Structure 1
Amino acid sequence: MEIIKNCYDADSNKVKVTFDIGVGEGKLKISDDGTGMGRGEIINGFLKIASGLKVEYPVSAIYKRKKAGRKGIGRFSTQRLGRKLILRTRREKDSIGWELLVNWDDFESGKTLQDIKVILKQYEKATVGTEVIILGLRDTWSDAQIKRAWRGVLSLQQPFPIAPVENKPSIDPGFSVDFYKGGGLYKDEMVIADLKTEILDHLHAVVDMMVDKEGSVFWRISKNKLGESFDWRKYEYTSKDIEGSNKEIGLTNVWMKAYHVVLEPSLLPSFVYTRVRDELSKRGGGGSVPKWFQGCALWGFR
């Protein structure tokens, strides 16, 4: 979806997509925690057909991501999805945000653009980031269609969660998109598609490792479809375990999570198998295991 690509280009970390199709005319809401837009960016970027902003600025401002959205296409994607658009946005440096209101039914054949009113006004309640609300959905959305839409932006998402990097705000923490389906007036939102439900829940084992502030190493198998799991236990190592060195490991306060998968088509849903296989192919196979931590029998991939 082109709107979600715009969220990625705006250096969002998290995007929430909610389909409300059980009440009235249907509604789609897309919320992100990105950089937001000012009045000039809305007029010269979002509303302008074939805007040159993405040519002039091919990477994002904070994380230097290569921009994924096509120039001037975001507004057309909202028109295709529904009859009315509400866009609310605010930048962190601004004390007040903006609200854009568009009724696509006004864009009838025979009218010139000058005859059509688009309302852009200041909006005090806007939070940092951008919220797009599309009313009067033109199509019905089944769970299968929602999942296909999520998979359409999967290439923008990290295959596995990334731990935040403290004190380095320019380091990209990753990008994730969760799709929800509203259950009407009396039901809570239900997650239809996210990285956990679509991929991680299907992998066979999870191994956690941590090094505490004293330098002691602990590990556990928190999930294991192939055998037994166990809680935290200390890993005893010596300097001889470190190849080519007689020094102790100089790590403290480190945590790591590894997802283990048996890459066998009969053991995984076809989509998960293809996704993991392609990721491993790009990265040259499984990860290497430090000699001092080879006690983890399920480490890495095979």
Structure 2
Amino acid sequence: MANLYFTVDSALLSELGEKLVETVHLALVELVKNSYDADATEVKIRFISDENSINEIQIIDNGSGMTHEEVRNFWMRIATTNKIKKSFSPIYGRPRTGSKGIGRFSCRRLGLHLRLVTEGKNKGMQEKTDVIFPWEKEFTAGTDVTTIKCPGILSKSQKGETGTKLIISNISQEWNRRSYDYIKRKLAVLVANRGAKREGYKIDPGFNIMIEAPQFDEKVVDLRDHLLDAGWGTLSAYINKNGNAVCKLVAMDIGEKKFISKEKFSHLKDIYLKIGIMVDEREQIRNSKILALGSLSQILNEWGGVQIRFKGFRVGNYGDDDWLDIDKERGLRRTTPEKELYLFAQTLKGIDASRALLNMLSMRSYVGNVNIREHATGFEMKANREGFIESNSFQQLKLFVKFCIYWATIYREFYLRQKAKESSDVARKYLEGVLDEKIEKEKVVTSAVDYIQKEVRNIVNYLPSKEKRIVQKSLSKATDAILQYEKSNTEELRHLRLIASTSTLLLIFSHEVKSLLGLLENHTNTLEIIKEKLDKSDQNQISYVQNDLNESKIRFEDLLGLTSLISVDSKKASLTNLSLKERIAKARNAFKIIIDDYDIDISYDDVPNNIIIHNILEAELYSIVLNVLSNSIKAVIAGGEEKRIKFVASKVDGKNVITILDTGIGVGKDMYEEIFIPFIADPSNLLYPKLERNLNPADKYIVGTGSGLGLSIVKDIIQLRNGSISFQEPTETWKTKLVIELP
């Protein structure tokens, strides 16, 4: 039998290197993927050039390298199935990024000369293989590739570092700035690997790429740092020697911002974090040369999250899970920051502090590490090395990281508000051009609606009568909805401006009342002098007048105490712990005239003295008590029969549960939620008609005329302080039951 054998022409290598890998930048990416598959933690790429062009590219990694046998059996074998058989890297269990076994022939695409230097471990010895591949001389068309000798040197030693070095010369002259930026975008996905734990393998410490390319004006580029700086913003922070958080944000259209917390993290030291804030939207990518939208989606899915590194090593699965509870809080729609961050949000123009966290990003959108360094204390690893044992230090670490992320989120909310304003201004100017007239900001919506109605009517005139009626009806409903919404927003803004101006008038009035109280004090003292000169019966009469004046003075002083809270600078106000019963008593006294005149029974005997509301501004607690008490007073007066109001409080599961009951007109179940909507003062339209009949005209200004903002404000304050408020079905003896929970 005459057997026949295949031979392989060297031209095939050109086909594999130049046809399957179409461009030089794709070829380079393939070679870096080989380093990733070899469990390298770092790759260095060097572009070396002379005065005219790039003449050499070096790719150096610290991976597992290859033994002499592996070079012969795998590297020198075209289209090996090694990666198919072994789909995960041997040390860290990384999913292999290539399977065809032709990535190495990308070298042929990059240049005409290759030197491979690789070191691997073999039976306790270090094997170094140094091979030359003269593509341009020996690998010519017509030559059988299996007959070509590649000169090499094998050396062995007891010690050494594993890894592979590729030196490619006689470079293809296709490199330019565009292809250089392309490889950075492609490799960004690989450097997003900041570490992982895969079952059955060692903990993957991550993968980074350093690029040296002076001809592209970049001496040494840390690609991972560039990646973190490419998204919407970069957040960094540390704990200073006083225990304060020192935060820095560099972000799109924000610039560089710094903040030092008043809050102290006394259990933390030698902590540092750096986080890239990545938003999966093209317009919120700062550096598109590094980060492409398609790559970003893959990065966030695979590597999004804040990891913890303890003395240089990644800990457990922190970063793969929601260890900061950010996604949990997003799900609960907690939009209000706490304590000093709430006050900070108030300093930014256009920000609603109670909704400053409305656009909180998912945990996956934060890519970075918290580094617990050498001098940190209080952190103890679990026996299985999968995380930390709960401690004061670990709890404060979570609070510190969340504090920093929330602070950055507030600035992103500011950015979004500014962008919305810019878009609004652009739209207004465009509309002015269309209408050829100047449009005031307040009339943009109505002008736009008028224009749309006019244009649509012109179009529908060409439709058959039936379709014309349908379109006109739909148009009418849509434009009415827009105009009603705009009217509601305008009304809300008007009320808020009115409240702001009223606050100033109230403070002026308070100053005048203080002067009046001084005079009242003087007259009371004068009466005391006169009383001593009168007989007994007249003295009793004077004493009665004095008592009445003293009661009025005390009531005025209490009222002034409440109004003075308005004058407190909210940025300087501090959270405190307050007795609930004392504030209810003062609030009741504020309505004493009404209570006495209408014979209203207000009881708070079931509020224990030890009920303390924690971490709240005094003005906030008074606002809650005064608003709910005012509503109950109006309700019982409108009811016209038995007028009883009762406060009950107790501690349940670590929270203060406060119940307000009254015998007023009640609230229908279908109104339990609607009543908290701003400007919904009387959703059933029953309260104010009845109140009008039963209330003296002069008294309506004491209990309030109903702006519809009271309960909305109360709800915002309570949610700000991590509480809740709801109407519940009352027992038979009561008409309304309002339940508040506060820390």
Distance in 1 (CA, whole Å) between partners of 2:63 and 2:240 is 33
Shift of 1:262: 6.6
Using the alignment, how far apart are the partners of 1:264 and 1:197 within structure 2?
18
CA distance in 1: counterparts of 2:243 and 2:173, whole angstroms:
54
Q: 1:17 Cα deviation (Å)?
A: 0.8
Aligned to 2:86: 57
Q: Does 1:68 align with 2:144?
A: no
Amino acid at match of 1:85: L
Q: Residue 16 of structure 1 contacts residue 31 of structure 1 at CA under 8 Å; is this kept in 2?
A: yes
Does 2:206 align with 1:97?
A: no
User: Given the superposition, is the C-alpha separation of residues 30 and 55 from structure 1 closer, same or farther in structure 2, using an over 3 Å criterion?
Assistant: same
> Whole-Å Cα distance in 1 between the matches of residues 79 and 156 of structure 2?
30
1:25 Cα shift? 7.1
Q: In 2 relative to 1, CA 276–235 (structure 1 residues): closer, same or farther, beyond 3 Å? A: farther
Specify whether residues 218 and 173 from structure 1 end up closer, same or farther in structure 2 by C-alpha distance, changes over 3 A only: farther
1:230-269 equivalences under 5 Å are 230=259, 235-236=264-265, 255-260=272-277, 265-269=282-286
What is the RMSD computed on CA atoms of the aligned residues?
Answer: 4.0
Q: 2:211 — aligned with what?
A: 179
1:87 aligned partner: 116
Single out whichever of 59-68 and 111-120 deviates more from structure 2.
Answer: 111-120
Larger radius of gyration: 2
- Which letter maps to 2:139? F
| Larger strand percent | 1
1:5 aligned to 2:81?
Answer: no
Is 1:26 matched up with 2:60? no
> Match for residue 150 of structure 1?
184
Report the CA distance between 1:103 and its aligned residue.
Answer: 0.4
| Distance in 1 (alpha carbons) for counterparts of 2:104 and 2:276 | 39
The structure with higher relative contact order (CA 8 Å, sep 6+) is: 1
Provide the residue aligned with 2:507 in structure 1. Answer: none
SS at match of 1:153: helix
Amino acid at match of 2:103: G
1:117 aligns with 2:145: no
Q: How does 1:29-40 map to 2 (within 5 A)?
A: 29-40=58-69
CA positional deviation for 1:258: 3.0
| Contact 2:115 2:132 survives alignment (8 Å) | yes
Residue 127 (structure 1) shift: 4.5
After superposition, where does 1:193-272 map in structure 2 within 5 Å?
A: 194-200=223-229, 203-209=232-238, 218-225=244-251, 226=254, 228-230=257-259, 235-236=264-265, 255-260=272-277, 265-269=282-286, 271=288, 272=291
Q: Is the 8 A contact 2:64 2:162 kept in 1?
A: yes
1:124-135 equivalences in 2 (<5 Å) = 127-135=161-169
How far does residue 112 in structure 1 lie from its aligned partner after superposition?
A: 1.2
Residue range with higher mean Cα deviation, 13-22 or 88-97: 88-97
Distance (Å, rounded) in 2 between the aligned partners of 1:192 and 1:144: 16
Q: What CA deviation, in whole Å up to 9, does each residue of 1:117-163 have, x standing for no partner?
A: 1123125798520000111012231122112123223322216x56x
Pair 1:4–1:173, CA change in 2 (3 A): same
| Counterpart secondary structure, 1:6 | helix
Counterpart residue number, 1:137 = 171
Deviates more, 1:202-211 or 1:19-28: 202-211
Question: 1:240 corresponds to which residue?
Answer: none
Q: Distance between the aligned counterparts of 1:267 and 1:42, measured in 2?
A: 45
AA of the residue aligned to 1:152: K
Task: Give the alignment's TM-score, normalised by structure 1.
Answer: 0.75
* Count of aligned pairs between the two proteins: 280
Contact kept in structure 2, 1:12 and 1:175, CA below 8 Å = yes
Higher helix share: 2
1:245 aligned residue:
none
Deviation of 1:192 (Å): 5.9
Q: Is the 8 A contact 2:83 2:101 kept in 1?
A: no
Letter in 2 for 1:268: I
In the alignment, the residues of structure 2 paired with residue 103 and residue 148 of structure 1 have an alpha-carbon distance, to the nearest angstrom, of 28
Task: Summarize the Cα distance change of 1:140–1:103 in structure 2 as closer, same or farther, 3 Å threshold.
Answer: same
Q: Distance in 2 between matches of 1:151 and 1:261?
A: 15
How far apart are the structure 1 equivalents of 2:182 and 2:37? 21
Which amino acid letter does the alignment assign opposite residue 175 of structure 2? W
Following the alignment from structure 1 to structure 2, what is the Cα–Cα distance between the partners of residues 38 and 181? 31
Q: Aligned pair in 2 of structure 1 residues 102, 273: CA closer, same or farther (>3 Å)?
A: closer
**104 and 179 in structure 1: CA distance in 2 versus 1, 3 angstrom threshold:** same
| Rounded Cα–Cα distance in structure 2 between residues aligned with 1:236 and 1:270 | 34
Task: Could you tell me which runs of 5 or more consecutive residues in structure 2 were left unpaired when the two chains were aligned.
Answer: 1-28, 305-326, 328-360, 367-394, 414-743
- Which secondary structure state, in structure 1, belongs to the residue aligned with residue 44 of structure 2? strand
Task: Give the 3 Å change call, closer, same or farther, for CA 71–94 of structure 1 in structure 2.
Answer: farther
Matched-pair contact (CA < 8 Å) for 1:20–1:28: yes
